[in-house]
Chains A and B, each alone.
Chain A
Amino acid sequence: MSIELIAYTRNVEETSLLIHDVNIDSVICGHSMFSLRTLGDVDLDELIEIRKLTNQYNKKLYVSVNAIFHEDMLDELTSYINKLDALQVDAIIFGDPGVMSIVKEQHIKTKLFYHPETLATNYKTLRFWQDIGVDRVVLSNELSLDEIIEIQNNLAIPVEVQVQGMTCIFQSKRPLVSNYYQYTSMNKEEKNAYFIRQAKEDDTHYPIFEDVNGTHIMSTNDICMLKHLPQLFDNGICKIRVNGFLKSMDYNVEMAKCYREAINVYMEDSDIYASQVTQLMEKIEVLQPKHRKLDTGFYYKKQIY
């Protein structure tokens, strides 16, 4: 069993820190023209540098191309995918099945990871993607641990899960914050950060932001599965992703470091894991912004419908 620790990166500097300070296994980057909610907009020149660096240290580089594409983007998308293939990135992460059509037509050799956000929820569906050539599936965040394990047990390819950070809970094509400003005749500054709060739920804090893909709303809490990692690893869930979205470079690297240390403890002696992670949890609580509470997402939650 090999555990893979994956983090997002926004540039060469962060990639370097993730390699040297964290000994990260893999990094993900992307550009908002083609990807949803990457840490920053990494252009092709920077991507080439990141590829060099990751190659040098034998680290994997995945490029996220999981936007929902409209007609006007298809030509650029085809050209971008070809460039990624030429650059020999280790995987293209996609959500829109249109990417599959392009990959087939263009004889793209790069591995494919399927990451459709909310749509990766059962093993039969993921087996379908596996059977048509997908190399990994990134699971939806609204799954319980039991469901995740059952999915992995029924697949030949690995599943990847998010274990740290905020998750996207909504995407609209509409510019919802700008529309609100328009309605109230106020001026919206391009760069400002916003969040929404549920009425009568004063401690909720859902980040909301706009980009070329529309409006996105993020979860009120950050997932933190550090304490429970053995439950994942023991059950063969070994591709874990930390997500420093809307956080600083420093936070992203320090958080990834905590997870690296936790993995090391687990690998050395899984029996002492519980006692050893207490210190790491203290470190995480210092790192964590006060208004962002930690929880375990849907790993231990029951949903109704």
Chain B
Amino acid sequence: MQTELLAPAGNLEKLKFAIHYGADAVYIGGKQFGLRAKAGNFSYEDMVEGVNFANKYHAKVYVAANIIAHNDDLKGAEDFFRTLYEIGIHAVIIADPSLIQLCKKAAPNLEIHLSTQASITNWRAIQFWKDLGISRVVLAREVSVEEIKSIKAHVDIEIETFIHGAMCISYSGRCVLSNHMTERDANRGGCAQSCRWKYDLFEETNENESQIITDDAAFTMSSKDLSMVEHVPDLLNLGVESLKIEGRMKSIHYVATVVNVYRKIIDEYKQNPNNYILQQTWIDEIWKAAQRSLTTGFYYHTPSDKDQLFGKPERLPKYDFAGLVLDYDPQTKLATIEQRNYFKIGDDIEFFGPKMHLFKQTIKEIYSIDDEPLTEARHPMMKVKVKVDQPVNTYYMMRKRK
């Protein structure tokens, strides 16, 4: 099997962007059983449209149903999985055996992937799930490159592993900070991200006395975000079947940028592994979408303080998603753009599109949709025309440094 690039899609628009920018598969959430209660999530109608769209591009759509269910959460699960199968969803991502059982019963031919929430860290555990008919496991984020190698040597199953995005600092599924501090159940989509809060740390000096340690700097447990942009070949060489990007809550700008880079890297390496050279442009692109500093997590070593966020956040290159290209007229070299952030004549901006087509330019001409000259694009979602230096296409994006 070719290595698959798997991208998040919080809604239908994000699904289309992810696929246009080169994702082989996307994962989405339904209205039930998912862990991202606040992501847009897909109605059945959206799923139908998403699957039709994906099929056109030979891409796959997976549905995350990865809650750790309580008794009352199981109602409607069979209908849910049956409907997903009828819609043509290609696989479901599940953590809880109850939902695995209900899915098998309702839709015996629907492929099941075991979610990272199940904390799978060794080949014996994978063997257990394989024997029960699971076709793919999503590894815990605590598994290293060496451990994947060992797993691959012991058990023949599809391996999916995260390459990019935000991470739980705990073993996923093994944290109930949110339940205890806010009464919101993290394992059913209510996570309040309590790990990223600031705490005071104390040392117990004796039974009833303690000494504060955190006078100068607060104690936090926030991880930098995962990025394997510089190490993708290590995973490709191991024969990992699916490389996963986190972020169903992220913007289309984020999804397009990150997918674009990893697509390019996978294609370049596959085409010519011996002469593969990591390009600085790719790394730069990743940083333009980054929301936190980046780390390789557990892939090469146990994360140290350098892999966590302490103190003031590092300054990141901040880019605004300025506009989305809706249309392009090669005659006039005018692109019709939907404004997503303020821009004006004289701004230095960059355009990018699928296959890592990137170029920079200064905005010289803006027109209204009725061809009246404008000096700026002031209103969110307003449509304007902008003169572009190179041909662009629908799904291209325009970004501007803050």
Q: Which residues of A contact B (CB under 8 A)?
A: 68-74, 96-102, 117-119, 121-125, 128-129, 141-143, 147, 150-151, 169-177, 179-180, 182-184, 186, 192-199, 208, 214, 217, 219-220, 289-291, 298, 301-305
Contact = CB atoms under 8 A, between A and B. Distances in A.
A94 to B, nearest CB: 11
A290 B175 CA distance: 26
B382 interface: no
A31 B177 CA distance: 25
B68 A128 contact: no
B204 interface: yes
A123 B128 contact: no
A56 B310 CA distance: 54
Contact of B123 (A71, A150, A290): A71
A124 B303 CA distance: 37
Contacts of B125: 69, 96-98, 101
B346 interface: no
Given A102-B124, A118-B176, A199 B208 contact: no
A121 B70 contact: yes
Contact of B199 (A68, A184, A198, A298): A198
A197 B74 contact: no
B192 to A, nearest CB: 10
Contacts of B180: 169, 219-220
Interface stretch (B56-64, B166-174, B251-259): B166-174
Interface stretch (B45-53, B213-221, B234-242): B213-221
A172 B170 contact: yes
Given A217-B177, A220-B180, A196 B219 contact: yes
Among B37, B69, B121, max chain A CB count under 10 A is at B121
Contacts of B177: 169-170, 217
Interface stretch (B6-14, B183-191, B274-282, B335-343): B183-191
Given A70-B122, A173-B171, A121 B302 contact: no
Interface stretch (B93-101, B355-363, B389-397): B93-101
What does DSSP make chain A's interface, helix, strand, loop or mixed? mixed
Interface in B303-347: 303-305, 307-308, 310-311
20 contacts: A68-B174, A74-B122, A96-B125, A98-B124, A102-B124, A119-B118, A125-B97, A128-B97, A150-B71, A173-B171, A177-B201, A180-B310, A183-B305, A193-B204, A198-B199, A298-B179, A302-B183, A303-B184, A303-B185, A304-B185
B208 A290 contact: yes
Interface string B14-57: 00000000000000000000000100000000000000000000
B128 A97 contact: yes
A68 B223 CA distance: 20
A119 B125 CA distance: 15
Contacts of B208: 289-291
Contacts of A151: 71
Interface stretch (B81-89, B143-151, B370-378): B143-151
Given A101-B125, A122-B71, A147-B71, A169 B202 contact: no
Interface centre among B73, B74, B174, B175 (most CB of A within 10 A): B174
B204 A171 contact: no
Nearest to B120: A97
Most buried by B among A74, A174, A220: A174
Contacts of A119: 68, 95-96, 118, 173
Nearest to B124: A98
Nearest to A171: B174
B204 A172 contact: no
Contacts of B303: 174, 179
A302 B221 CA distance: 27
A143 B213 CA distance: 34
Nearest to A148: B71
Contacts of A141: 176
Contacts of A172: 169-171, 221
Interface in B241-290: none
A174 to B, nearest CB: 5
A304 B189 CA distance: 9
A147 B69 CA distance: 11
B213 A186 contact: yes
Interface string B103-144: 000000000000000110111110111010000000010110
A169 B179 contact: yes
Contacts of A197: 199-200, 202
A35 to B, nearest CB: 15
